[in-house]
Structures are given as structure tokens and as C-alpha cells.
Amino acid sequence: MKIEDLYLWVLENCSMEHIKNWFIYDKNHPLLFNSSLFLGMFLVFYLVYILTKKHTHFRTVYVVLFSLFFYYKAGGNYFILLLISSLLNYFFAGQIHKSNHKGTQRFFLILSSVVNLGILGYFKYTNFLIDSFNNLFHGSFAFKDIVLPIGISFYTFQTMSYTIDVYRKEIEPAKSLLDFTFFVSFFPQLVAGPIVRAKDFIPQIYKKITLTKEETSLALFLIIGGLLKKAIISDYISINFVDRIFDAPNSYTSFENLMAVYGYSLQIYCDFSGYSDMAIGLALLMGFTLPVNFRTPYQSKNITEFWRRWHISLSTWLKDYLYIPLGGNRKGSFWGYFFSSLFFIATIYWAFLHGEESLIPLLAVLGIIILFELSILLSPDKAKSLRSHFNQLTTMLLGGLWHGANLRFIIWGALHGLALSFHKSFKEIFPEKESEKKTVIKRLFSIISIIITFHFVAFCWIFFRAKDFSIAMTIIENIKHLTFVPQQWLTIIEGYQNIFILLVIGFVWHFFPEKWNLFMRKTFQKSPLLFKALILAFVFWIVFATASAGPQPFIYFQF
């Protein structure tokens, strides 16, 4: 770069108007981890943060202020709602802790749940309910479009778990409103998780911040890996391949439709796990430990294992605060039976509604109901299976609704709920024999199990990604007509050469044995500081050089 070019760049990017825009929310360009603006802001923030490590109170105030500013830059004035949520939940938990009367404690717990779910429901489900009402009753009721605050689903679940844990006497309340606001607004995981538990995080606020060379290296390793996943793999295949096909599936061949499904499976993993890696890395640089959110989920041998590896903080939250309170496999509950029964009634109604067009919806619904009933009837312990299956399905239906009030998310949650129920019964009927010997047949069975599980998950992603149910069915219909035409496939692969290279790199990276990942991590940790700095600089250069469309929002920002 010439001196003249550098001078012009400085004039263009460092004018007073440009500097002012750094501090003003722009809904068209929200602040993202994978943006140069965030990088610059974080470096400035971190230089000051290092000086506050020995001053707990000042450090807490400083991080809270920066977190609120980060949320403002990412989501606008909804940072006020975040503050209100923090204040209310701190008050509710405090009242629960102070009272010795069980009725009073229960009252504030219920009030907390109603307020939290009411706020979440208003922003997330009002538009859906109005549209549904108008469609069912041919109404014309109009309501101003409600914009969903960024990250509201994540911090709502965090604040709810805090109040519930105080009620259960599993934790002591935060020492002050400031400390609780720190927990709720902590910027690395604020807008897309991991969902942090108060009992794991709040004690870290009061600890002395110490950061070893190994922890610094691990943090940089995670940030680099997260950036590569998000900006190089996820964004590129999304913009140049996946989005185009999901927007107009009939304009593409069956093979391209199938590859788009594989592409989205990789895209959402790299996007979401990339964010989680960066969040964990940034928090670790600040001396805080966040929970691991992904453990190579597509290596799972069954759907139960998948949910132990995918979005771990959400799946464990649903288990601890929804599935077990519903009764788990110990007892049935009204809500467990109600939501599952409502789903089956709604699907039967939907199938009859589309009966004139095709018998396929009705046959599919009847098949699902029969399989669900068989999974209970064939179980050695039918009563236990009845309870657990209904509670499991309800949990996953509500997990789907957590992502959004849309038929596609409900179907996605239902498919996973049904699969979890089937697998639970399958394990009871055919219990796995524990054996230390890894025979060729056992290895082959493991590989086949991984392939089947991955393809089921990929199939479910079609409904998750498609804009509506009809597009999802169009993609499935197109894939059904897939024929093996080598010359056509090769032509398509050559036309999307960069896409397929990234698909191969992404899946190979994902299926690396754990010991390979540990080896790379240890090698990076042992490397000189200059080498680490050069690698980090090179990665940032690659990220911004290839981001022709600008930094892309993370998929889970919409939830």
C-alpha cells in the first residue's frame, strides 16, 4: 500500500462523522464478533481491562458498561429491556431468598416465570398469534410489527434458571444488582450463548483474575478456530450456495438440492459452534470459563448422543428445567400429555386440511402416530415409556418453539422429540452389550450408525432452514427424484469448485479424531508468541479479504 493510499484510507475512515458512527447503533450494520469494528473495540477494551484485574468492583462496573454498549451496538435501545429484566429477576430472587414462607416463595417464583415468559412471548409470538387468528377466522386484525430483541431467548433462560435455582436453594443470590447484571449482560455470550448457569458463573466474578500462558494460548486458538468456521466456511457456502438454493429450489437440480442440505448442515454447525468458540475464547482472555457448547455432534451414533453434543447448554437447560419438572420418566404430568396431544390433534387436522391435494400428509401423520404408539407398546416398561415419551416430546416441541413461533420449528422439534422417544424404546428392547473389544463388525456398525444419525439430523435441518413448509416439501420432493448422473454431478462440482472444497475441508475438520485436535491445540500452545500473533493476523487478513459481502450475522442471533 502506498503512503498516498494509506493517507486517503485514514481520511475516509477516521473523519469525525465516521468516528461518531462507531458509537451509534445502525440496524443495517449491527456489531458482530467477526467485524473489524468489534476487533478494534475489543482491543481498546482489553487494554484497559488488564489494568482493572486487581480491582474487582471497578472491573465489574467496567465490564457491565462495555457489555451494555456492546448490546446497544448489536441490538439498539433494547439494552433498556435487558436492564429491566435484570432488575426484576434480581428483585424476585431476593424476595424468594428472604422469605421463609413457602407460599410467598412460590408466588414470586410463579410471578418471575410469568413476567419472563410474558416478555419473551410478547416479542416472539405476538405476530404469529395474530397471523394465525386472521388465517383461521378470516380476520383483518392488524398490529404493528414487533422486532425481536437480539439474544432475548438466551438471557431470558439465564435469568429464569437463576430464580429457579435460588428457589431450590441450590445457590445463594448475587451479592448485588451490579453483580447480577454482570452475569446477565456478560457480552461474550450475551446474544447467542452458551446459556450460562448462575452457580457456575457468579462465583467467578468474586475470584481474583489470573491468566496463564496456556489459557491465553487456548483462548487465541478458540478465537482463530471460531473465525475460520464462521467467516471462511459458514458465510461463504451460505452466500454462494445454500441461500440461493433454499430461496428457489426448483431452479436447481436434485443433486444441488441435496448438496444444499449437506451445505446447511455444515453451515449451521460452523456458524453456531464458531460463535461459541469465539465467546468461550474471549471470556477466557478475560479470566472467565464458559461451558463447552459443542462436541463434534455429527460424530454421534444416535440421536440421544447428538443432543449430548449439540447446543449442550440448551439441551441441559431443557432437561433440568423442563423435562425433569414435567416428570421425566418418573411420572406423567398434565402439561406433558397436553402439549403432545395438542400436537397430534393439530397434525391430524392439518393432514385432513390438505387431504384433497394429496394423501401423503395423512399417511405421514398416521405413520408417525402408529410408530409413537408402537414405541410405547413394545417397551418392556410400558407405563414408564408412556410418561417419558410424552414428556420428551413436549420438551422438544417447546424447544422448537423456543427457536420461533413457526410451523417449521415445531416440526423440527417434533421430529427430534419422536426420534428421541423411538431411540429410548429401541435401547430398552435391544440393550447394548458392553464390550471392550472393538471388532470389525462393531466398528462398521458404529460408522453406519453415524451416517444414519447424520442424515436424520440433516433431514430435520430442511424444515429448520426453509422459509416455510412448502419450500421444505419442495426440496424433499426434488431430492426424491435424484438420479445418478456422473457427468452432470461432475459439471456441478466443477461449477461450485470452491464450495465443494470448503464442504470437504469443513466435514474433514469436524470428523478429526479428538487426539488430532488435542495435538493441534498443544502444538499451538507451545509455539512462540510471535508465531501466534502472525497466525492471528493472517487469519484476520483472510477473513476480511474474503468477506466481500461484509460480516454476516450469526444464525442464532434471530433467536
pLDDT in tens, 520-533: 888 888 888 788 88
| pLDDT mean over 335-362 | 73
pLDDT surpassing 60 at residue 33: yes
Q: What is the pLDDT of residues 287-327, one digit of tens each?
A: 999 999 999 999 999 999 999 999 999 999 999 998 888 88
pLDDT surpassing 90 at residue 453: yes
Cell numbers for 138, please give them. 378470516
Residue (of 411, 451, 408, 482) closest to 249 by Cα position: 482
pLDDT surpassing 70 at residue 488: yes
| pLDDT mean over 358-362 | 65
Q: What is the pLDDT of residues 218-260, one digit of tens each?
A: 999 999 899 889 888 998 999 999 999 999 999 999 999 999 9
pLDDT surpassing 90 at residue 27: no
Cα–Cα–Cα angle for 117, 277, 245, nearest 5°?
Answer: 80
Mean pLDDT of the chain: 86
The predicted structure's pLDDT at residue 549 = 57
Identify the H or E element spanning 152. Answer: helix 152-167
The predicted structure's pLDDT at residue 459 = 95
pLDDT surpassing 90 at residue 437: no
What's the burial of 459, exposed, middle or buried (CB within 10 Å: 0-12/13-18/19+)? middle
The predicted structure's pLDDT at residue 533 = 80
pLDDT surpassing 70 at residue 9: no
Residue 130: C-alpha distances to residues 134, 136, 434, 552 (Å): 6, 10, 53, 30
pLDDT surpassing 60 at residue 482: yes
Residue 433: C-alpha distances to residues 22, 360, 423, 426, 427 (Å): 60, 39, 16, 13, 10
| pLDDT mean over 368-385 | 80
Confidence of residue 117 (pLDDT cuts 50, 70, 90): very high
One-letter amino acid for residue 516 of the chain: W
In this structure, how many other beta carbons lie within 10 angstroms of the beta carbon of residue 509? 17
The predicted structure's pLDDT at residue 167 = 94
pLDDT surpassing 80 at residue 435: no
Residue (of 466, 314, 470) closest to 396 by Cα position: 314
pLDDT surpassing 60 at residue 213: yes
pTM of the full structure: 0.89
Q: Which residue has the cell 461451558?
A: 291
Percent above pLDDT 90 for the chain: 43
The predicted structure's pLDDT at residue 4 = 54
The predicted structure's pLDDT at residue 14 = 61
One-letter amino acid for residue 308 of the chain: R
Q: What is the pLDDT of residues 398-420, one digit of tens each?
A: 888 888 878 788 889 989 998 99
Contact in structure between 347 and 365 (CB atoms under 8 Å): yes
Contact in structure between 56 and 179 (CB atoms under 8 Å): no
| pLDDT mean over 20-46 | 80
Residue 9: C-alpha distances to residues 19, 21, 230 (Å): 14, 16, 27
Confidence of residue 1 (pLDDT cuts 50, 70, 90): very low
Percent above pLDDT 70 for the chain: 90
Contact in structure between 252 and 59 (CB atoms under 8 Å): no
pLDDT surpassing 80 at residue 557: no
**Of residues 157 and 17, more confidently modeled:** 157
pLDDT surpassing 70 at residue 273: yes
The predicted structure's pLDDT at residue 298 = 96
| pLDDT mean over 63-79 | 92
The predicted structure's pLDDT at residue 341 = 83
Give, as one character, the DSSP assignment of residue 209: P
Contacts for 133 with CB less than 8 Å, ≥ 6 apart: 139, 141
Q: Choose, from 389, 403, 416, 423, the residue flagged as catalytic.
A: 403
The predicted structure's pLDDT at residue 324 = 85
The predicted structure's pLDDT at residue 59 = 93
Residue 340: C-alpha distances to residues 179, 234, 324, 331, 337 (Å): 39, 35, 16, 15, 5
Give, as one character, the DSSP assignment of residue 438: -
- Exposure on the CB side of residue 351, measured as CA atoms within 13 A: 17
Q: What is the pLDDT of residues 491-501, one digit of tens each?
A: 989 999 999 99
Residue 416 annotated among the catalytic residues of the structure:
no
The SS3 assignment for 556 reads: helix
Q: How far apart are CA 123 and CA 125, in angstroms?
A: 6
For the ranges 59-68, 150-159, 515-524, the lowest mean pLDDT is seen at: 515-524
User: What DSSP line would sit under 266-319, residue for residue?
Assistant: HHHHHHHHHHHHHHHHHHHHTT-------S-GGG-SSHHHHHHHSSHHHHHHHI
